[in-house]
């Protein structure tokens, strides 16, 4: 039976190696706790650090056995180091990429909202009806002005006939009275009467709803974009999803639903009723790795991954190869638990 031969490593180098590995383990422990915080383990912010401590204890024990020459110890160390790597990455990636991710999303969301607004305008803005409504409204204002200037005269009556022709409906004549107060009242009544008849005509074609949809899409676009531009123009780092982004996502969905209700056939308008914020789950595992894969072309993603690999594998494994014992006996280790001593004197 062969025995383990101790590597002739100076004591100061062993001490330095353990210090380096220990620092890596402590940093990994802390950020593993932060990376697990989304789960609120034991309904507490500190529950994740309890789990992280358990991982740390198992990691250190396995690492010590690996240095003593145990392959099983090395296997367990690799497993717990991988757990740390995943949790550390879940903390570091969103923490250092949040500003870039959110700014990129804002640019994409603005583009999507602009496309929606343009499609709504192209599909629901009826130029003929719009011109028709403006013509009737202008003639109505002329009639009211003439009545206020001296009652219902020939010119006002002629304009009323023109409006009747446009609306294809008879307008009941109202006595205009003989004083300014009566003329003002009559003008208001004609304005209200013509307005009601125009709205009834337009409702036959859903003009009012379509007009409101086009107007709302354009007004919301202007309002939301001003807020988002103010946000992105600022040099302050963005670390969470802004309320402005959530508002844009909600308004997009609302406009999409309204457009599909008015489309012919129903639900024939092309938009995404499930439009969502791609960073809504920022700082969660469900977001971190999906986002990292999507942004593999960015240097920041690789820098964070490389830093985590160095922390959890690079430095500790470097120390492991420096301090590990040589010539270990697989047969002897097979008869011992992996946490038991590997001192040659105990064989």
pLDDT of the residue at 2: 43
Domain boundaries, the chain: 11-94+286-346, 127-203
Beta bridge partners of 326: 5
Closest to 344 in 3D by CA, of 99, 69, 95? 69
Mean pLDDT of 81-98: 96
pLDDT(25) > 80: yes
Question: Which of the four pLDDT bands, split at 50, 70 and 90, describes residue 332?
Answer: very low
pLDDT of the residue at 334: 44
∠ Cα 293 295 297 (to 5°): 110
Cα 199 from Cα 97, distance rounded (Å): 52
- Mention every residue, 6+ apart, whose C-beta is less than 8 A from residue 317: none
Cα 78 from Cα 170, distance rounded (Å): 88
């Amino acid at each position: 039976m062969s025995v383990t031969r101790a590597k002739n490593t100076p004591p100061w180098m062993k001490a330095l190696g353990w210090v380096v590995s220990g620092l890596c383990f402590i940093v990994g422990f802390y950020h593993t706790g932060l990376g697990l915080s989304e789960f609120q383990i034991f309904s507490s912010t500190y529950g994740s650090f309890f789990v992280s401590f358990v991982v740390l204890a198992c990691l250190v024990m396995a690492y010590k056995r690996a240095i003593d020459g145990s392959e099983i110890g090395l296997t367990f160390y690799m497993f717990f180091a991988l757990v740390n790597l995943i949790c550390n990455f879940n903390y570091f990636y969103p923490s250092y990429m949040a500003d870039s991710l959110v700014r990129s999303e804002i640019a994409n969301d603005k583009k999507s909202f602009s496309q929606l607004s343009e499609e709504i305008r192209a599909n629901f803005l009826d130029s003929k009806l719009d011109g028709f409504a403006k013509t009737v409204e202008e003639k109505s204002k002329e009639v009211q002005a003439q009545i206020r200037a001296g009652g219902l005269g020939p010119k006002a009556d002629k304009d009323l006939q023109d409006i009747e022709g446009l609306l294809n409906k008879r307008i009941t004549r109202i006595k205009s009275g003989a004083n300014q107060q009566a003329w003002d009242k009559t003008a208001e009544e004609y304005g209200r009467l013509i307005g009601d008849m125009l709205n009834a005509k337009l409702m036959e074609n859903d003009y009012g709803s379509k007009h409101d949809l086009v107007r709302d899409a354009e007004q919301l676009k202007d309002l939301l974009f001003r807020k988002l531009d103010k946000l992105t123009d600022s040099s302050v780092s963005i670390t969470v999803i802004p309320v402005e982004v959530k508002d844009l996502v909600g308004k997009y969905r609302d406009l999409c639903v309204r457009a599909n209700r008015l489309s012919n056939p129903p639900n024939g308008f092309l938009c995404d009723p499930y439009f969502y914020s791609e960073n809504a789950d920022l700082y969660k595992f469900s977001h971190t790795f999906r986002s990292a894969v999507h942004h593999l072309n960015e240097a920041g993603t690789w820098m964070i991954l490389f830093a985590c690999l160095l922390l959890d594998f690079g430095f500790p494994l470097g120390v492991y190869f420096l301090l590990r014992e040589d010539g270990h006996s697989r047969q002897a280790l097979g008869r011992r638990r992996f946490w038991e001593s590997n001192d040659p004197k105990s064989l």
